[in-house]
Chain A
Amino acid sequence: MTRPDLELELRDHYLSFDGGSPGAASRVAAALDRAPIRSRWRIGPPVSSRAFVAACSVFVVVALVAAALLLPRHEPSAAPGTSSIASPEASSTPVTTPTATPFGQPTQATPGPTVDAARAKVDDAGMTKTGVIWALRDTALDISTDNGRTWRESALPPHTNGSDDSIEDVTVADADHAWVAVGQTPATARAHPSTAVTTITIYRTVDGGATWQASEARSFKGDFFVGLQFVDANVGFAIVEPSASGPSTIMRTLDGGATWAVTSSTASGDIQATDANTLWSHVGSVVAALDGMIGPPLLRVSRDAGATWSNVPLPGVGAKVTQDLQVLDAWPGSVQFVSPTDGFLAVSEATNPDPPECEVLYYRTLDGGLTWSQVAVLPLRLCPFMGPIILDATHWLQDNKPISSLNLMATSDAGQTWTSPGEATAEAVYGAWTVDGQDWATRDQVNPDSDINHSYFALSISWDGGITWQPADFSAR
């Protein structure tokens, strides 16, 4: 169902809140009168706030890692062999703790260099299928081919970032091939985003950022978001999604970004490409109640680059009454193939609001996505932000604790048993990648000194299977 009037309803809805009561000022004044003056004047040179942030963050990381290693694990009243992180009663599949860590025995923790955490700040980051880690930072694209131990900095294509043009999205296929979408909107038009025209130019490099070539520019009207996805060095998609409502425009390139053609202008949902013709689309949130699913279909597929779409049945989804049901975002996408026919995806079901309970349902296809069957269930207290990282048919990683600190879980038997190898500090994890069982990277939202104005994205690296973590050191060459 479409609700073209949703934005009007929202405006009316917010107008109906008369939150500005005249008593607010007197209440704040009274509160301030009672407030103790906790910060006394400091005599002497001011401490650099950045150094203070770094010192605090290093301390927090060290303290938490030490606590995780030194404190005994508390296992509350769970049945022997079950993990305390799960709600065994919430699922028919109990989570058992294996006796060994099958992801390769974690070796002695190898502490990384002492790095200013604030310098690990990134605007975006990711990892390619070939294990290249990349990070977008201010005016540069940093690429590492040795799992974050050393970095090579490349200049970005020309843009001013802020006045008339800005970087819309970046993606990297390997150490040589990368693409950057730059949007150009006249500063005078920005005050009217719904009618402003933005010109998108996609730049490509085939030499690791030494040189950039621009594709033909295309213009779009209104407020939108551009996403780049490349399935290999030649085949890629640029998806132009309106920031409010309306269908997306899908453009495809088959020659590495030199030329682009529109393949669809009617798609909706979060779109992911898995080959030159196959696109997957999932909606954000669906409710299941009484006799089945409510709302748009959870997952759809297109086999003709977005021209036509069909629903994908997921057996068992919606069997329970749920508050929230969704296909989980994951890296490199919700649908992950380990071979042309063998693929996985995960659905989260918030089954109980209070106390919160969630089940992550893992699905597998063996026929290229034509049919899917449920292969594992993971009960959690809270639904995770991200779906699993599928390393191969049996080795997966799954993030847990979506609100507080990052807690990656690992399975080596296709979700039948899970371990929690380590913990890192983060407000929220927005992506996690791994090259093998030992070298992992995450993009986290961190808040190192709990100062409310210092939250940012940072790239964290672990070289010991997730036991210890350190901020990425982009100065290491």
Chain B
Amino acid sequence: MLDVAADARDQADDAIRSLLVARAQEAQRLASWILQDPAAAEDAVQEAALLAWDRRRSLRNLETADAWFNRILVNVCRQELRRRARRPAVTEIEPIADGGHGRVPVRDELTRAISTLTPDEQIVVAFRFGRDLTIAQIASEISMADGTVKSRLHYALEHLRAALEADRRVEEMLR
């Protein structure tokens, strides 16, 4: 009897391991969107995979494994964003040499502006504009109420506009 149960568990383990490996590339894309840093994303995916492996007994239904692993990954990313918030990087705004116009590339501008958002706001923005999910899909992915996702997204965009505007004016002053 125990052998039968052990065989079933081994099969489940194999399935989860295969899923984690198969999902790694997409997971790294998601983590990159959230963390804005491919190297940090690599670490996050490995940490999430190890956590998922360690907690694989809590997965009751293999059909929900994708969502289960996504939530683990998002939580690992959230913790990384919180660690960053505790020791935020100095964001020095320097004009680049581009013929004297002093324009900061849009990507750097956005990366810096996104980093000023709260971790949950960064996650919602990444799901909305990186994965192009609807409010309802984001709510389902990260186990959050529709209204909470809506308000986080709303405030995140307000904050982004304020941060981008601030960047633009600093640039003008430095010219």
Where the two chains meet, the residues of A that have a C-beta atom closer than 8 Å to any C-beta of B are 1-3, 6-7, 9-14, 16-22, 24-25, 27-29, 31-32, 35, 38-39, 41, 49, 123, 166-169, 190-193, 223-226, 241-245, 268-270, 283-287, 289-291, 294-296, 323-324, 353-356, 382, 403, 451-453, 455
Contacts and interface: CB of A to CB of B under 8 A. Distances in A.
Most buried by B among A123, A223, A226, A291: A223
Interface in B112-170: 116, 125-126, 129-130, 132, 134-136, 143, 145-147, 149-151, 153-155, 157-166, 168-170
A55 to B, nearest CB: 16
A16 B31 contact: no
A244 B156 CA distance: 9
B102 interface: no
B21 A242 contact: no
B134 A191 contact: yes
A6 B164 contact: yes
A20 B25 contact: yes
Contacts of B153: 243-244
How big is the B interface, by class? 35 or more
B51 A25 contact: no
A28 B27 CA distance: 11
A190 B17 CA distance: 34
Given A25-B25, A243-B150, A356-B88, A452 B38 contact: no
A15 to B, nearest CB: 8
A49 B59 CA distance: 12
Contact of B46 (A20, A27, A166, A225): A27
Nearest 10 CB-CB pairs, A to B?
A19-B32, A14-B130, A287-B166, A452-B75, A20-B29, A10-B129, A24-B24, A243-B150, A284-B159, A28-B24
A188 to B, nearest CB: 12
A323 B88 CA distance: 10
B54 A290 contact: no
Given A13-B106, A169-B147, A225-B147, A39 B54 contact: yes
18 contacts: A6-B161, A6-B164, A9-B106, A10-B110, A11-B129, A14-B129, A16-B107, A17-B29, A17-B33, A18-B32, A19-B38, A20-B26, A21-B25, A39-B57, A225-B151, A242-B154, A245-B157, A353-B91
A243 B154 contact: yes
A296 B86 CA distance: 26
B20 A32 contact: yes
A224 B31 CA distance: 27
A77 to B, nearest CB: 21
B58 interface: yes
B175 interface: no
Nearest to A15: B130
B35 to A, nearest CB: 9
A395 to B, nearest CB: 29
B147 A285 contact: no
A224 B170 contact: no
B42 interface: yes
Contacts of A287: 163, 166, 170
